Structure 1
Amino acid sequence: MTKIKPPVLIIDDDEVDRYILKRLIKEAQLELRIFEKTDGQEALDFLEDYDANKKKYPDEFPPIIIFLDINMPRVNGIQFLNAFAQLRVKIDISTCVIMMFSTSEREEDKANIMGHEFVKDYLVKGAFTSQQLKEKVLKVINSR
């Protein structure tokens, strides 16, 4: 029997930042199915294509955790959160939680973002270890 890997979605326009997060996941020895999107619109399109993705990835969709950057082209992180809140009532993605993954340490950003009940954490890029990431991810996975 094949072990099912919990799915996560990384939304970040910076290829290096996506690589660093994937490396931290690997260092933490987390066996996760990783989807990647380069901006909020691409991610929304991916989530909205629920039926096709559920068929294509039956045990790996929708993602459990979405790692979301703030500063991106087209649809940024804040715009994504607002669209995601509306999308959650239309399709079965209510089990998805968001962990912000951003360079912004602005308190206004944090307060606005953490006001959404589906946002579970705010990770500042470069300010956490693989072990801290592992603890945060396992907490979400084990609470399901």
Structure 2
Amino acid sequence: MSDSKLNLLVIDDDDINIFIIKKIVEKTGFNIDMIARNNGQQAIDYLTDTISQNKPLPSLVLIDINMPVMNGWEFIEAYEELSIEQKVDMYILSSSVYENDIEKTKGYKTVRGFISKPLSMERLTELIKAIR
């Protein structure tokens, strides 16, 4: 496993969830730079700026569904329109228990899966190991 820094983008409007994920990231012991944005539009703006500055894109993106301004589904659609060629592992991270949300996840080519909140350290470790 490489010791290179992994960029993680968390898109969630709940600051408590962001705080919890940050603590989980710290406990994994991996070299992770976590960036959080509170809605899909902020995340699209961040990615657009990152691309224009030739900075590394996130390797892993965790996306909440229900957010103001631009929700998770709208973010994914806007992301796919950016035509980013670099492989980015994206997962829906949601408290939704609706089967249609889980099924809808499968309809997006850029989304690798659905994770139910709360995120566990074990699950995050699995995701990181799969990337490296």
Say yes or no: TM over 0.5: yes
> Which of 72, 92, 108 lines up with 2:100 in the alignment?
108
Q: Which residue of 2 aligns with 1:8?
A: 8
How many residue pairs end up in the alignment? 129
Structure 1 vs Structure 2: percent identity of aligned residues? 27
Q: Is residue 76 from structure 1 mapped to residue 71 from structure 2 by the alignment?
A: yes
Coordinate RMSD, CA, aligned: 1.6
Counterpart CA distance in 2 for 1:118 and 1:26 is: 26
- Structure 1 contact 28–130 (Cα < 8 Å) conserved: yes
Q: Is residue 46 from structure 1 mapped to residue 46 from structure 2 by the alignment?
A: yes
Q: Is residue 134 from structure 1 mapped to residue 125 from structure 2 by the alignment?
A: yes
Amino acid at match of 1:106: Y
- Structure 1 contact 62–93 (Cα < 8 Å) conserved: no
Q: What is the TM-score with the length of structure 1 in the denominator?
A: 0.82
Counterpart CA distance in 2 for 1:132 and 1:63 is: 18
Residues 27-68 of structure 1: CA deviation (Å, up to 9, x unaligned) = 22222111111110000011112122x2xxx4xx21111110
- Structure 2 contact 39–68 (Cα < 8 Å) conserved: yes
Counterpart CA distance in 2 for 1:12 and 1:129 is: 16
Residues 54-113 of structure 1: CA deviation (Å, up to 9, x unaligned) = 2xxx4xx211111100010000001111111111x2xx4541121111111211011112
Q: Which residue of 2 aligns with 1:63?
A: 58
Q: What is the TM-score with the length of structure 2 in the denominator?
A: 0.88
Counterpart CA distance in 2 for 1:94 and 1:31 is: 20
SS in 2 for 1:112: helix
Q: Is residue 29 from structure 1 mapped to residue 29 from structure 2 by the alignment?
A: yes
Is there any run of 5+ residues in structure 1 with no aligned partner, and where? none
Q: CA deviation at 1:121?
A: 2.3
Counterpart CA distance in 2 for 1:114 and 1:38 is: 24
Is there any run of 5+ residues in structure 2 with no aligned partner, and where? none
Q: CA deviation at 1:138?
A: 1.4
Q: Is residue 123 from structure 1 mapped to residue 115 from structure 2 by the alignment?
A: yes
Q: CA deviation at 1:24?
A: 1.5
SS in 2 for 1:70: coil
